[in-house]
């Protein structure tokens, strides 16, 4: 089943060259944070280029339930009239975050240090994901959590009346955990310190600074040490959301594997905490160039140009790069199937607790299409079959996971026989225009009768 309705089975068929310009939607991570930080400011935050995917819409709905005024002006223009740090009202109903781990985890952090009680739920995928990684550090502030076994949703959080600042070392590479602690620290007096051994996406730190909070980052032997001074008055901002590198990954990777393709994907943020996939593809020999490199809003940005690359080779992807491309391993495994030799991806056990167990979902689906995949708990290897060498013909289970669905649809565009997925419904959570955008480039994607 898709997140919000009946399943949408789809077929992807070997396509002619993909050509044209792919304007992918706004960045999902920055879109969630724009709405949440806007709601925690006093006054009007204006946001343009917001991703209008279901995940972000659910976060917008949640911010309204906490008392913020969230207005859609059309054409990607939104405004948020915030209630200020500590100003969240107790929601009248249950907060349903749908499919979104980022949404629920960041919102838990944002309400945890305000004395209100909130019950959270989500779809079948989200209700299966671990929340203890968030509620453990929130308990240090004084927040109580009552959930299902294994720390799963539905879960009720009782925000604390008199929070104390915390010092917390994040035990796994997770920007969601880091961000939840920082957002909770906003309403605690004094300094909240978060330490991460490996750098993860740094949008929360950057945006908090933009909204006027005092945030410092120090690089030490223990990793990145982030210090936030609590109880700031956040100042509303005007935010232009950059296009999402994680969504750009799909037209880029499709162009690399479909014969004769040449696709331009403009205005993609190349923040080093997000751009690991593109570095990896270039190391594999992909014809992927950065055009018109520039800085926008303090972030490196470029237009990506991807052309069919028949001579890509498998590589060992360094584990220390994992955090900067964690959402891109599914589509990388598809490219790896069309490369020569093995692609080994290590240090990726976080993939097992995403919207689905992404190692397992990709391994099973790739095998169903004639590709050999080995896996351990925290690594996997794809045995490449070279350009044009993937048989296809399989049906893939997508487990309510947008990136699994889009990855297998990319696989079918270059496989010898069509590839089917059981449900493309979840694609709307992050990339609602995926089908039209890919079809406009020349991709043969069809919805099957149910
Ligand atoms: C995100 C962090 C990552 C990523 C997710 C978005 C964020 O999750 O997979 O899609 O916006 O902070 P983890 O923090 O669980 O690695």
Is the CB of 350 inside a 6 Å radius of any atom of ligand 1?
yes
**Burial 26-42, CB ≥16 within 10 A → b, else e:** bbbbbbbbbbbbbbbbe
Give the pLDDT confidence of 88-122 residue by residue, as tens digits: 999 999 999 999 999 999 999 999 999 999 999 99
- Of the pLDDT bands very low, low, confident and very high (cuts 50, 70, 90), residue 4 is low
Q: Using the mean position of ligand 1's atoms as its centre, give its distance from the Cα of residue 174 in Å.
A: 6
The per-residue pLDDT for 324 is 98
Of ligand 1's atoms, which has the minimum distance to the CA of residue 175? 14
Name the β-bridge partners of 157. Answer: 118, 145
Q: What 3-state DSSP class applies to 38?
A: helix
- Of the pLDDT bands very low, low, confident and very high (cuts 50, 70, 90), residue 2 is very low
Lowest mean pLDDT among 48-62, 66-80, 100-114, 296-310: 296-310
Could you tell me the sign of the dihedral formed by the alpha carbons of 91, 97, 102, 105, in that order?
A: positive
Q: What 3-state DSSP class applies to 296?
A: strand
Is the CB of 175 inside a 6 Å radius of any atom of ligand 1?
yes
Q: Is the pTM of this model over 0.95?
A: yes
Q: What 3-state DSSP class applies to 414?
A: coil
Is the CB of 188 inside a 6 Å radius of any atom of ligand 1?
no
Pick the residue whose CA is nearest to atom 10 on ligand 1.
327
Is the CB of 274 inside a 6 Å radius of any atom of ligand 1?
no
Give the pLDDT confidence of 155-191 residue by residue, as tens digits: 999 999 999 999 999 999 999 999 999 999 999 999 9
Pick the residue whose CA is nearest to atom 13 on ligand 1.
174
Other C-beta atoms closer than 10 Å to the C-beta of 269 total 22
Active site (annotated) includes residue 327: yes
What is the C-alpha separation between 230 and 213, in angstroms, rounded?
A: 8
By DSSP bridging, strand 19-21 and strand 95-96 are unpaired
What is the C-alpha separation between 31 and 10, in angstroms, rounded?
A: 28
What is the C-alpha separation between 335 and 349, in angstroms, rounded?
A: 20
Pick the residue whose CA is nearest to atom 11 on ligand 1.
29
The per-residue pLDDT for 297 is 72
Mean pLDDT of the chain: 97
The per-residue pLDDT for 298 is 73
The per-residue pLDDT for 1 is 36
**Burial 354-385, CB ≥16 within 10 A → b, else e:** bbbbbbbbbbbbbebbbbebebeebbbbbbbb
- Of the pLDDT bands very low, low, confident and very high (cuts 50, 70, 90), residue 295 is confident
Of ligand 1's atoms, which has the minimum distance to the CA of residue 29? 11
Of ligand 1's atoms, which has the minimum distance to the CA of residue 353? 15
User: Torsion angle, CA of 346/337/19/17, rounded to 10 degrees?
Assistant: 170
Give Cα separations from 49 to 31, 147, 292, 382, 402 (angstroms): 8, 35, 20, 36, 20
Of ligand 1's atoms, which has the minimum distance to the CA of residue 179? 12
Name the β-bridge partners of 225. Answer: 195, 218
Is the CB of 99 inside a 6 Å radius of any atom of ligand 1?
no
Pick the residue whose CA is nearest to atom 9 on ligand 1.
327
pLDDT of 54 over the 90 cut: yes
Phi-psi map region of 122: left, alpha, beta (phi>0 left; psi -120 to 50 alpha): beta
Q: What 3-state DSSP class applies to 235?
A: coil
- Of the pLDDT bands very low, low, confident and very high (cuts 50, 70, 90), residue 296 is confident
Is the CB of 176 inside a 6 Å radius of any atom of ligand 1?
yes
Give Cα separations from 330 to 22, 66, 119, 355 (angstroms): 20, 35, 32, 12
Is the CB of 174 inside a 6 Å radius of any atom of ligand 1?
yes
Give the pLDDT confidence of 360-388 residue by residue, as tens digits: 999 999 999 999 999 999 999 999 999 99
Q: Which two tokens stand for residue 147?
A: 């959930």
Radius of gyration in angstroms for the set of CA atoms belonging to the chain, rounded to a whole number: 21
**Burial 202-237, CB ≥16 within 10 A → b, else e:** bbbbbbbebbebebeeeeeeebbbbbbbbbbebebb
Is the CB of 343 inside a 6 Å radius of any atom of ligand 1?
no
Please give the sequence-ordered ranges of beta strands (E in DSSP) within 253-321, or none if there are none: 262-269, 287-296, 299-307, 316-317
Pick the residue whose CA is nearest to atom 4 on ligand 1.
327
Lowest mean pLDDT among 4-18, 92-106, 132-146, 399-413: 4-18
- Find all residues with CB under 8 Å of 377, minimum gap 6, and list them: 349, 352
Give Cα separations from 55 to 37, 126, 138, 364 (angstroms): 16, 11, 23, 26
Q: Determine if the peptide bond prior to 401 is cis (ω within 30°).
A: no
Give mean pLDDT, residues 265-276. 95
Could you tell me the sign of the dihedral formed by the alpha carbons of 424, 427, 432, 433, in that order?
A: negative
Catalytic residue among 327, 401, 422, 423: 327
What is the C-alpha separation between 48 and 61, in angstroms, rounded?
A: 18
User: pLDDT exceeding 70 applies to what percent of the chain?
Assistant: 99
For 374, phi and psi rounded to 5 degrees?
A: -110, 150
Of ligand 1's atoms, which has the minimum distance to the CA of residue 204? 12
Q: Using the mean position of ligand 1's atoms as its centre, give its distance from the Cα of residue 102 in Å.
A: 6
Q: Given ligand 1 and candidates 101, 182, 271, 325, which is best to mutate, with the most ligand atoms within 8 Å of its CB?
A: 101
What is the C-alpha separation between 437 and 441, in angstroms, rounded?
A: 7
Is the CB of 206 inside a 6 Å radius of any atom of ligand 1?
no
| Beta carbons of 149 and 131 less than 8 angstroms apart | no
pLDDT of 35 over the 50 cut: yes
Q: What 3-state DSSP class applies to 302?
A: strand
Is the CB of 327 inside a 6 Å radius of any atom of ligand 1?
yes
Give mean pLDDT, residues 277-283. 98
Question: 3-state DSSP helix/strand/coil percent for the chain, to nearest 5?
Answer: 35, 30, 35
Q: Given ligand 1 and candidates 51, 99, 102, which is best to mutate, with the most ligand atoms within 8 Å of its CB?
A: 102
Q: Using the mean position of ligand 1's atoms as its centre, give its distance from the Cα of residue 175 in Å.
A: 5
Give the pLDDT confidence of 184-229 residue by residue, as tens digits: 999 999 999 999 999 999 999 999 999 999 999 999 999 999 999 9
């Amino acid at each position: 089943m898709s997140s919000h309705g009946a399943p949408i089975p789809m077929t992807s068929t070997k396509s002619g060259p993909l050509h044209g310009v792919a304007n992918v939607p706004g960045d999902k991570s920055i879109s969630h944070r724009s709405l949440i930080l806007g709601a925690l400011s006093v006054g009007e935050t204006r946001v343009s280029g917001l991703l209008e995917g279901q995940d972000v819409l659910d976060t917008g709905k949640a911010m309204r339930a906490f008392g913020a005024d969230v207005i859609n002006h059309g054409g990607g223009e939104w405004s948020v009239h915030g209630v200020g740090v500590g100003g969240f009202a107790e929601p009248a109903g249950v907060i349903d975050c749908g499919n979104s781990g980022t949404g629920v985890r960041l919102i838990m952090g944002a309400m945890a240090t305000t004395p209100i009680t909130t019950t959270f739920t989500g779809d079948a995928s989200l209700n299966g994901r671990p929340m203890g990684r968030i509620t453990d550090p929130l308990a240090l502030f004084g927040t109580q959590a009552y959930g299902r076994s294994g720390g799963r949703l539905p879960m009720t959080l009782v925000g604390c009346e008199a929070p104390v600042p915390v010092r917390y070392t994040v035990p796994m590479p997770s920007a969601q955990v880091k961000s939840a602690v920082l957002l909770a620290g906003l309403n605690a007096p004094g300094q909240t310190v978060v330490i991460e051994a490996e750098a993860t996406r740094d949008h929360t730190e950057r945006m908090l600074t933009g909204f006027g909070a005092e945030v410092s980052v120090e690089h030490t032997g223990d990793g990145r040490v982030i210090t936030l001074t609590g109880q700031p008055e956040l100042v509303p901002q005007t935010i232009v959301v950059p296009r999402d590198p994680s969504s750009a990954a799909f037209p880029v990777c499709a162009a690399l594997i479909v014969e004769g393709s040449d696709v331009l994907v403009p205005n993609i943020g190349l923040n080093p905490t997000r751009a690991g996939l593109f570095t990896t593809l270039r190391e594999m020999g992909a014809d992927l160039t950065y055009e018109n490199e520039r800085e926008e809003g303090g972030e490196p940005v470029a237009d990506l140009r991807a052309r069919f690359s028949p001579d890509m080779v498998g590589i060992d992807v360094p584990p220390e790069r994992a955090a900067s491309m964690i959402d891109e391993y599914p589509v990388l495994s598809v490219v790896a199937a069309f490369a020569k030799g093995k692609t080994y991806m290590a240090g990726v056990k976080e993939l097992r607790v995403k919207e689905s167990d992404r190692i397992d979902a990709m391994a099973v689906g790739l095998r169903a299409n004639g590709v050999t995949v080995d896996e351990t708990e925290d690594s996997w290897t794809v045995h490449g079959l070279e350009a044009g060498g993937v048989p296809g013909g399989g049906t893939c289970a997508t487990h309510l996971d947008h990136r699994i669905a889009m990855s297998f649809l990319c696989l079918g565009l270059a496989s010898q026989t069509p590839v089917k997925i059981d449900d493309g419904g979840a694609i709307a959570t992050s990339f609602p225009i995926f089908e039209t955008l890919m079809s406009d480039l020349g991709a043969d994607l069809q919805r099957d009768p149910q």
